[in-house]
A = this chain, B = another copy of it.
Amino acid sequence: MARVTLKDIAAEAGVSVMTVSNVVNGNSGRVSPATAELVERIVAARGYVPSGPARSLAARRTRLVGLLLPARADGTSLLGSAHDVSVAGALEAALRARDHHVMLRGVATAADVRDSVARWSLDGLVVMGFTDDEVRSLELPAVPTVLVDAAVPPGTRAAAVRADDADGGRLAGEHLLALGHRRVAFCGPTDVRSQVVDGRLDGLRAALADAGAPAPLVVVANTTYEAGLAAAPAVAAGGVTAVFASADVLAAGIERGLAAAGVRVPDDVAVVGFDDAEIARYVSPTLSTVAQDTAAKGRAAAELVLGLIDDEPGAGAVAGSPTRSRGVAADDGVVHIGVSFVARESTGTVRA
């Protein structure tokens, strides 16, 4: 049961291997319909599948996209959040639909990145789960690259996909304002450079400022449940009546931490998260949150890499400059996924 090759098909059809190759790759115009049909029938009958390695070697393209994720020393899972899992799933599905495959690869250093790209001649890269500074330290090579939720390092040719974080922050702020809150806290990893977190905070700031409310109290916390538990006292002591957390896990931890401190949610303090992760519906009270369409994010990332791969690499295009892409284009090379607010128990209901 050796592999069926082009040669086998060619022999059976009585044509040259190039003709079979042309049929398989849809290079019409070089093959008569009759011959094409004959070849196609034999291909189907013999169950011929082209060899990726051979094709890659000869054609100088692999139809392989690397999904680079953080390989943390502590061995925690590559896909650190429900958000990333969902994006990865949609990405794979979209790439699969376009006849591309995904190489899953944990990377920690720039050397890891170089190795993974060189080893398999990856046609493109999707980079997810890293902070802005980590991305910079990865020294992304000159391969079509899409960053998910990270800033494009200066001088790097890459595109990005992000939710409309500022709009999300604004939505959260406006919702809380509508409920009568004026003293609001923001909780998130504001200590690491992150356009995502900054965007959410800026959106909140803008909403509060527009309403003439005081600037938000900022409480620094990592994006984990435990950090939320730890941050709860600071929030409680801040004299605020509401808190907006940069992610749902964090919000869940805060909610729980507040409850443990005897603070009632939402009566004493309202809580808003971000992502509309499953956990937002599991905790009690259920978490109000800003929803982002993670599936759309994954699809957008897929379309972006494929677009970058197919386009002639416009010489000199760098970060910040326009990046053209198939389908989803954006002036600054960034695709912004729309967001929407989901009101649940943790903020109570808007007063009529």
**Closest CB in chain B relative to A59 CB, distance in Å:** 10
Chain B residues with CB below 8 A from A142, complex form: 1
Q: A85-B79, A103-B101, A295-B75 are in contact. Are A119 and B51 (CB under 8 A)?
A: yes
Q: How far is the CA of A115 from the CA of B281 in the complex (A)?
A: 38
Binary interface profile of A, 100-122, with partner B (CB < 8 Å = 1, else 0)? 01111110000000111011110
Whether A57 and B53, one on each chain, are in contact in the complex, defined by CB atoms closer than 8 angstroms, is: yes
Chain B residues with CB below 8 A from A106, complex form: 89, 92-93, 96
Closest to A299 in B: B75
Binary interface profile of A, 267-293, with partner B (CB < 8 Å = 1, else 0)? 000000000001101111000000000
Q: Determine chain A's interface SS by DSSP, over half rule.
A: helix
Chain B residues with CB below 8 A from A78, complex form: 88-89, 92-93
Chain B residues with CB below 8 A from A121, complex form: 3, 51-53
Residue A76, interface by CB 8 Å: yes
**Closest CB in chain B relative to A275 CB, distance in Å:** 14
- The one of B102, B249, B295 in contact with A104, judged by C-beta atoms closer than 8 angstroms, is B102
Residue A14, interface by CB 8 Å: no
A: number of interface residues (CB 8 Å) = 54
Chain B residues with CB below 8 A from A88, complex form: 77-79, 104
Whether B105 and A101, one on each chain, are in contact in the complex, defined by CB atoms closer than 8 angstroms, is: yes
Whether A118 and B79, one on each chain, are in contact in the complex, defined by CB atoms closer than 8 angstroms, is: no
Residue A319, interface by CB 8 Å: no
Whether A77 and B85, one on each chain, are in contact in the complex, defined by CB atoms closer than 8 angstroms, is: yes
- The one of B50, B85, B282, B295 in contact with A256, judged by C-beta atoms closer than 8 angstroms, is B282
27 residue pairs bridging A and B, Cβ less than 8 Å apart: A1-B142, A49-B118, A49-B119, A51-B57, A52-B119, A53-B54, A53-B56, A53-B120, A75-B90, A75-B295, A77-B85, A78-B92, A79-B79, A79-B89, A89-B106, A92-B104, A92-B105, A92-B106, A101-B103, A102-B103, A102-B104, A225-B281, A252-B282, A253-B282, A256-B282, A259-B284, A282-B283
A residues contacting B by CB (< 8 A) are 1, 3, 47, 49-54, 56-57, 62, 67, 71, 75-79, 85-86, 88-90, 92-93, 96, 101-106, 114-116, 118-121, 142, 225, 249, 252-253, 256, 259, 278-279, 281-284, 295
